[in-house]
Amino acid sequence: MTGPGLDLALTVPGRLDVALRADPGEVLAVIGPNGAGKTTLLHALSGLVPAAGHARLGDRELLAQPVRERRVGLVFQDQVLFPHLSALENVAFGLRARGTPRARAREAAAAWLERVGLAELAGRRPSQLSGGQAQRVAIARALVTEPALLLLDEPMAGLDVGVAADLRVELRRHLADFGGVAVLVTHDALDALTLATRVVVLEGGRVAQEGPPEEVAARPRTEHVARLVGLNVVRREGRLAAFRPSDVTLSLEQPVGSARLVWHGPVRTLAPHGDAVRVQVAARPDLIADVTPLAARDLGLEPGVEVWLAVKATAVATYATDDPA
């Protein structure tokens, strides 16, 4: 099936001011730091937060409709499953509320629970479900009503790594079957890269960057996204320069030689990162460098030690700040 496209320009005073378009079948990953307006965007689209502007879904104006008529499926960050209803009744709720006869609603709900692999847990209350199971029920509850727009608020948050990985695979399948526009708020670069067709970076309630996941990951415009994808990004002569932490060399003396970019500052933190040690240096801006444990020991790295960072010019991708990513 294919749903309607989305065209929005929304303002929530003091919190959000964004304009976006999305075609049917697109999955927009919305990333950004805490307080960037990600959840506000979802709540404005579903109607839980009043917003000005427009949000056209196909030929409907969402802002002109009350919450219950918008047919927007919202999967809440903490699920908000009805605690007094079983998993089956939770999933059937939306159909019952829209007037589907009880037996048909339960049948459809049971089919969806089967699809998310929870058929045998249909009778359980939310308090008897694990985090991953509850999230699957929440997704089924939203999708069973065949919403015209699907909104997911950090569906993988708070789950164990393995559980999140399984759910990510499953979610990918549901999103492929969905056909309408899906908006996925996430904190995780992996979600954005694996699930989304387009990434929207919010900062301070505005769109800071927008583009295909691989573009945004390769040429991040904000420090937040650079950190998410594990890149350094610096502003140089009105352009942005991105490079990998593993291409950075650390030294205690000022490095000599040409065709290098060089910074200087005290070590802020040290943390294991795979086989390497990830060193965060307060070099205005904060930069990260991956060094071997041996090098970290030889250099005597610890918080407060002044170090020089250098990266070869050939390892730096430079791009304009304002060209479309």
Using CB atoms within 10 A of its CB, is residue 36 exposed (0-12), middle (13-18) or buried (19+)? buried
Give whichever of 61 and 69 is closer to another protein, judged by the CB atom: 69
At its nearest, how many Å lie between another protein and the CB of residue 147? 9
Give whichever of 79 and 280 is closer to another protein, judged by the CB atom: 79
Ramachandran angles phi, psi of 234, nearest 5°: -130, 155
Give whichever of 67 and 317 is closer to another protein, judged by the CB atom: 67
Give whichever of 153 and 191 is closer to another protein, judged by the CB atom: 153
In Å, the largest CA–CA distance within the chain is: 78
At its nearest, how many Å lie between another protein and the CB of residue 141? 7
Neighbours of 22 (CB within 10 A): 21
The closest alpha carbon to 287, from 228, 240, 234, belongs to 234
Given the rule CB under 8 A, which residues bind another protein? 46-48, 66-74, 76, 78, 80, 82-84, 93-94, 96-98, 141-142, 145
Give whichever of 96 and 124 is closer to another protein, judged by the CB atom: 96
At its nearest, how many Å lie between another protein and the CB of residue 115? 18
At its nearest, how many Å lie between another protein and the CB of residue 286? 36
Q: Which helix (H) or strand (E) holds 147?
A: none
At its nearest, how many Å lie between another protein and the CB of residue 15? 17
Q: How far is CA 304 from CA 234, 269, 285, 307, in A?
A: 22, 9, 16, 9
